Amino acid sequence: MKQGAQDSTGIRTPGAGGSAVPRVPRQPEAGDLRREQGTADPWRKQEAAAAADRPAEGVRGEHTHGEPPVPGPRPPVRRSSVRGQILQALRTALVAGELKPGEVYSAPVLGERFGVSATPVREAMQQLTLEGAVEVVPNRGFRVVERGGRELAELAEVRALLEVPVMLRLARRVPVERWAELRPLAEATVRAASSGCRATYAEADRAFHRAVLSLSGNEQLVQIAEDLHRRAQWPLVGGAVRPARADLLADAAEHTALLDALVARDVEVVRALATEHFAGAD
């Protein structure tokens, strides 16, 4: 993954192929915009609400001094989905290793980096807590969970138990033309791997697997597999933030080979390729 430039704080700014997290304009809290209801000078109220949220981190007891650098800016996001886009930005930062295992980050500081109030960041972090990516540290913020190789191996095993039988069933039932429709997604993983960017590849990788499993028509299966896949992509403690580009390319090549076997309805080759793919999943 190509690195962008660093500012004086050591925070990456966007560069070619970089995966820095967006910097978004500070957003008003829900209900602040009341122009259609005749509220006078709504933008002044909006600014007051944002200012009240910003230095009030003491209310939550979150200390902001001595924290590690956090991801820098990206293009603005739309007001209508700030929380969702902040959540996606934090997920990307996790995969890219910009939020480091074992480090504690407070919502106010992250909010300043994103250019939003602490509220949507705190809400996104609460979602990541439910997903197991971070844990609450009372009076400080959120700590990125430290994970080891054992957990990664367990996730790969569960994914194989879940996805391989489904792929084998689909190999016997899905028409060839439906598999052909997934070719662009398989090719997209190869392009993403070529970029060397872990976060870009992780997204393309999930998209391919999600499309395959979606052919089962079982939405619960798709959601569970997606959650497991996302967790398997978080970095390990002491592990390389950026896997070798050759490793990403090898993983992507398995997607195209698997798709070829599915198109050919070669169930035994599908079984072997899928099993090997999950055995080497990272």
Task: Identify the CATH number of the domain in which residue 234 sits.
Answer: 1.20.120.530
And the tokens for 31? 């209900």
Residue 83 lies in a domain: yes
d(CA 237, CA 244): 17
- The CA-based angle 23-144-196, given to 5 degrees, is 60
Secondary structure element (H or E) that encloses residue 69, with its range: none
Task: Report residue 138's pLDDT band, with 50, 70 and 90 as the boundaries.
Answer: very high
Report the pLDDT averaged over residues 12-31.
45
Cβ neighbours of 281 (radius 10 Å): 19
Last residue of a domain, one of 119, 144, 169: 144
Task: Report residue 281's pLDDT band, with 50, 70 and 90 as the boundaries.
Answer: low
Q: Per residue in 213-271, pLDDT tens? A: 999 999 999 999 999 999 998 888 765 445 578 889 999 999 999 999 999 999 999 99
Looking at the fold, whether 205 and 273 belong to one and the same domain comes out as: yes
d(CA 41, CA 11): 36
Residue 28 lies in a domain: no
Predicted local confidence at residue 36, as pLDDT: 41
Residue 132 lies in a domain: yes
User: Within 13 A of 105's CA, how many CA atoms are on the CB side?
Assistant: 31
Q: Per residue in 92-132, pLDDT tens? A: 999 988 899 999 999 999 999 888 999 999 999 999 999 99
Question: How many residues would you count in the chain?
Answer: 282
User: Across the strands, what pairs with 136?
Assistant: 142
Predicted local confidence at residue 76, as pLDDT: 53
The residue whose two tokens read 């007051």 is: 48
Secondary structure element (H or E) that encloses residue 218, with its range: none
Residue 26 lies in a domain: no
- The CA-based angle 21-214-1, given to 5 degrees, is 30
Looking at the fold, whether 163 and 263 belong to one and the same domain comes out as: yes
Cβ neighbours of 1 (radius 10 Å): 21
How many folded domains does the chain comprise? 2
Strand pairing class (104-105; 141-144): antiparallel
Looking at the fold, whether 41 and 137 belong to one and the same domain comes out as: yes
Looking at the fold, whether 98 and 158 belong to one and the same domain comes out as: no
Residue 267 lies in a domain: yes
Q: Which amino acid is at 81?
A: S
Looking at the fold, whether 115 and 129 belong to one and the same domain comes out as: yes
Last residue of a domain, one of 144, 165, 187: 144
Looking at the fold, whether 106 and 168 belong to one and the same domain comes out as: no
Domain hosting 194: range is: 149-279
Looking at the fold, whether 73 and 167 belong to one and the same domain comes out as: no
Q: Per residue in 188-213, pLDDT tens? A: 999 999 998 889 999 999 999 999 99
d(CA 15, CA 278): 32
User: Within 13 A of 39's CA, how many CA atoms are on the CB side?
Assistant: 13
Residue 16 lies in a domain: no
- The CA-based angle 16-18-20, given to 5 degrees, is 135
Q: Per residue in 29-50, pLDDT tens? A: 444 434 444 444 433 444 444 4
Cβ neighbours of 8 (radius 10 Å): 5
- Report the mean per-residue pLDDT for the chain: 78
Last residue of a domain, one of 144, 163, 183: 144
Residue 188 lies in a domain: yes
Looking at the fold, whether 94 and 63 belong to one and the same domain comes out as: yes
Going 88 to 9 to 48 to 77, the CA torsion angle's sign is: negative
Looking at the fold, whether 138 and 209 belong to one and the same domain comes out as: no
CATH (domain of 111): 1.10.10.10
Residue 15 lies in a domain: no
- DSSP H helical ranges for the chain: 42-53, 82-96, 107-114, 118-131, 149-173, 176-180, 183-195, 198-214, 219-232, 245-264, 267-279
Looking at the fold, whether 163 and 100 belong to one and the same domain comes out as: no
Is 90 exceeded by the pLDDT of residue 83? no
Compare 263 and 1 and report the one with higher pLDDT: 263
Looking at the fold, whether 180 and 136 belong to one and the same domain comes out as: no
Of 52-66, 136-150, 236-250, give the lowest mean pLDDT range.
52-66
Looking at the fold, whether 133 and 165 belong to one and the same domain comes out as: no
